[in-house]
Amino acid sequence: MKPYIQVNCAMSADGKIAGDDRTQVTISSPEDKERVKRLRKDSDGILVGVGTVTADNPHLTVKGLGYDENPVRIVLDPRGRTPDSALVLDNRAPTVIVTLESCEKTWPDATVIRIGRETIDLEPLMDKLYAMGIKTLMVEGGGETISAFFKANLVNRYTVYVGNLLIGGKDAPTPADGKGWLAADGIKLTLNCFERLGDGVLLDYTVSR
Ligand SMILES: NC(=O)c1ccc[n+]([C@@H]2O[C@H](COP(=O)([O-])OP(=O)(O)OC[C@H]3O[C@@H](n4cnc5c(N)ncnc54)[C@H](OP(=O)(O)O)[C@@H]3O)[C@@H](O)[C@H]2O)c1
């Protein structure tokens, strides 16, 4: 069994999720931030790639929730690059770091799952997370991680907030980066609804199978 997986991110009106030097840019409106807070609260786990940890150093917690109420934070970190000082390792929520089998790094405040030889195998990882009680998983980014989930055909729902700004730059990350195409004909989405939230728009899709 696998968790229900929702990818959520925010992009500019030109389709970028950060600056071309990977610095964080505020894209979400206050109304969208409230929505993301509710979504995090309703999720059993929140997952990011290590690129997001090194670029943004996020907490990935919900303000006001205690250790056991917060979703479990999960970091895909094949080679163990998460610094010991990263905020995802603070004591505000449980943390799981996922590495390759060959990685020997440990973190005192995290549970470590070692899976895969060359790349982290997302299918068996999802089975493991489900068995640990993570029935709903929010994938927050960044672009390489989101792309890996789409390529593995694991995404159930995709919500993307389009903010009222342009970021520009051909090297700026987008919601689905990584090597190669996601699929020869693209991955087909069904638009469920859209909603104005402040000066931007939330697009809500399910993935067609
Ligand atoms: N606007 C938004 O909503 C939003 C949200 C989150 C992040 N961001 C932005 O996104 C940017 C970071 O994105 P990113 O694409 O550079 O990084 P990322 O997706 O956060 O992390 C990528 C790294 O995670 C590891 N990884 C991911 N999937 C893997 C898999 N299946 N198997 C093995 N390793 C895997 C790899 O680590 P190794 O490199 O060690 O191999 C990979 O390089 C930042 O600029 C951040 O600000 C924006």
Domains of the chain: 4-207 (3.40.430.10)
The answer to whether the Cα torsion of 126, 124, 80, 145 is positive or negative is negative
In the predicted model, residues of the chain with pLDDT beneath 70 are none
Q: How far is the CA of 52 from the centre of ligand 1 (A)?
A: 5
Rounded Cα distance, 141 and 158, in Å: 12
* pLDDT value for 2: 97
Ligand 1: nearest atom to the Cα of 143: 15
Judge whether 89 and 95 are in contact, CB under 8 Å.
Answer: yes
Q: How far is the CA of 184 from the centre of ligand 1 (A)?
A: 23
* pLDDT value for 180: 84
Judge whether 141 and 24 are in contact, CB under 8 Å.
Answer: no
Q: How far is the CA of 42 from the centre of ligand 1 (A)?
A: 23
* pLDDT value for 182: 87
* pLDDT value for 149: 97
* pLDDT value for 181: 87
Spatial CA neighbour of 143 closest among 171, 113, 162: 171
All residues at 6 or more sequence positions from 144 whose CB lies less than 8 Å from its CB, including other chains: 49, 51, 177, 178
Ligand 1: nearest atom to the Cα of 19: 45
Rounded Cα distance, 117 and 121, in Å: 8
Residue nearest to atom 47 of ligand 1 (CA): 24
